[in-house]
A and B are shown apart, each in its own frame.
Chain A
Amino acid sequence: MAVIQVERKPLSFAERTYIPQIIGGLKTTFKHLLKPPVTLQYPEQRPEISKNYRGVPTLVKDPNGREKCVSCQLCEFVCPPKAIRITPGEIPEDSPNAHVERAPQAFDIDMLRCIYCGLCQEVCPEEAIWLQNQFSLSGYTRAEMVNHKDKLYELGGTLPDAHFKWDKKKAAEEHGNEH
């Protein structure tokens, strides 16, 4: 391996007085003085959140406004810090969604326990629970930090997918499950 000897030039007199370097530095900092600040005025201006950001877990509805969760409790079992608690419930006979198996009676996510791992989203067979772009949450009490079902749907909104799994199943049943 060839060794290249780089000549180290001694500092010139001007360099040893520091003055040209100081003036150069002053020029640089003055340019920064005139530049607009890069700060985001946070509560008013929000940063743009990436599509695949994993923030607060939320529950979503399908485009027909039906809650997608069927309270299978897989997320409750997979949740490492045991943040999710589901009380399964039946769907009343007269409901337009009566063909769906079940729905949660209560769905609580304790945000003081949640570690944002996303396993609930991964395990959900109905694509009902999603970690969305909500990143800032606060509360005055521990009870306030538990997201109940209505809050979760409010945060989650509607997922614009077009699976309509349960509607298709109902239609197939009505046609005698022929293939």
Chain B
Amino acid sequence: MFDFYFEIKPWIRLVLQGTAVILVLFPLAAACSMAERKISAWLQGRPGPNRTLAPILAWVPGIGVLQRLGLFQLAADGGKFVFKEDPVPAHVNKFYFIAAPILAMIPALSTVVVVPFGAYFDSAGKLIPLVLANVDIGLLAVFAVSSLGVYAVILAGWASNSKYPFLGGVRASAQLISYELSMTLSVLPVFLWINAPGGEGTLSLFRVVELQSGVGLAWGSVWYIFYFPLSAFIFLVALFAETNRQPFDMPESESDLVGGFHTEYGAFKWSLFFVAEYCHMIIGSAVFILLFFGGWNPLPGMPLATLAGWLHIADQPILMSLLGIAIFLGKIVFSIFFFMWVRWTLPRFRYDQVMNIGWKKLLPLAIANLILYTLGIALLQK
């Protein structure tokens, strides 16, 4: 029934697919900003924004629920960012000042290309990933592109030509370099494990999920959080630092740096930074879930294929893909909630503490973890 779709030119199809993914990712990032406000409110015993309502919608019955959830506040915020005056301060370097928020968006939106978000069975009974580009270097591409995001922060800090943004930019670069190392080292055991000698070498994220799709608690195919808890922990801590979230939000640290690197920004340019940060969070937690929490598999030992079989939709690619995407998005949403939950629980680390944790604690831990697992895997796979 969707044959016409596969008959159109491949590049048009790719543009459509890419647009579709961005059309999900961008509103999701915007919704995160609302969720941030609501969850912080609930954690502090407040109701949060609950008044905004478009007057033309007031007659719709039951709309009060959406109003109290702040759904229209989201639209109002977005509209405000688009329509308010967007001043460029006189003392900035105009070209880089304007380039920085654009540069922040590009890596944030492009890492999604290699992130698979679902799977279905084709007519031959083979599991096909739902991904824009199922490349073999998947994880490497994510790391390579997402770390470009720091350039936007440095550029914004430098181009603002003012001391607080500059300090924010410097802190951001130091922090991102420090935690990038531990993050990369922490996932190496996973790929050592799946690239067993004799097999086909791969860094593909789809392959990682495929290998976590075992039925029952079979050795060798359960979620990797059970095999690599320490790796998962290091990755999570580094992820918090990489996405500049509390307790590692050094570049922003509003109490000592005003607003950090985006002090001089306002209106739409500021909102681009904001959305980019949430996109990073979404992609980061997506990769975390793919690596350690079984991607779109609903439960450990119960892969998507089994669930689809129970619901009798294994032979319907569209329904099965939608189910997979729903499960995966659900996990991402929980992960985002966890980010916000941690934010309102922990105070910010001091800058020297961030550096100490990064270099003196996390990095040795990641190296020890790598050596330990390398030896273990060598013994097991001999």
Contacts and interface: CB of A to CB of B under 8 A. Distances in A.
B42 interface: yes
A41 B46 CA distance: 10
Contact of B45 (A26, A28, A39, A41): A39
Interface stretch (A30-38, A117-125, A161-169): A30-38
Contacts of A30: 341
A106 interface: no
Contact of B345 (A26, A37, A38): A26
Contacts of B375: none
Given A26-B341, A30-B341, A39 B46 contact: yes
Contacts of B341: 26, 29-30, 33
A112 interface: no
Contacts of B46: 37-39
A57 B214 CA distance: 77
Interface string B330-344: 000000000001101
Contacts of B177: none
Contacts of A35: 45
B45 A37 contact: yes
A38 B341 CA distance: 19
Interface residues of B, number: 13
A22 interface: yes
Contact of A22 (B39, B43, B47, B346): B346
Contacts of A22: 342, 345-346
A35 B45 CA distance: 7
B45 A32 contact: yes
B44 interface: yes
Contacts of A92: none
Nearest to A30: B341
Interface string B9-48: 0000000000000000000000000000001011111110
A89 interface: no
A59 B342 CA distance: 55
Contacts of A20: none
Contacts of A38: 45-46
Contacts of A28: 345
A25 interface: yes
A23 to B, nearest CB: 10
Contacts of A37: 41-42, 45-47
A1 B187 CA distance: 60
B90 to A, nearest CB: 37
A32 B346 contact: no
Contacts of B41: 37
A37 B345 CA distance: 18
Given A37-B41, A37-B42, A29 B47 contact: no
Contacts of A41: 47
Contacts of B44: 32
Given A25-B345, A33-B39, A41-B47, 15 more contacts: A22-B345, A26-B341, A26-B345, A28-B345, A29-B345, A30-B341, A33-B341, A37-B41, A37-B45, A37-B46, A37-B47, A38-B45, A38-B46, A39-B45, A39-B46
Interface of B: 39, 41-47, 341-342, 344-346
The 9 closest A-B pairs by CB, nearest first: A25-B345, A29-B345, A37-B47, A38-B45, A39-B46, A33-B42, A37-B45, A33-B43, A26-B345
29 contacts: A22-B342, A22-B345, A22-B346, A25-B345, A25-B346, A26-B341, A26-B345, A28-B345, A29-B43, A29-B341, A29-B345, A32-B42, A32-B43, A32-B44, A32-B45, A33-B39, A33-B42, A33-B43, A33-B341, A35-B45, A37-B45, A37-B46, A37-B47, A38-B45, A38-B46, A39-B45, A39-B46, A39-B47, A41-B47
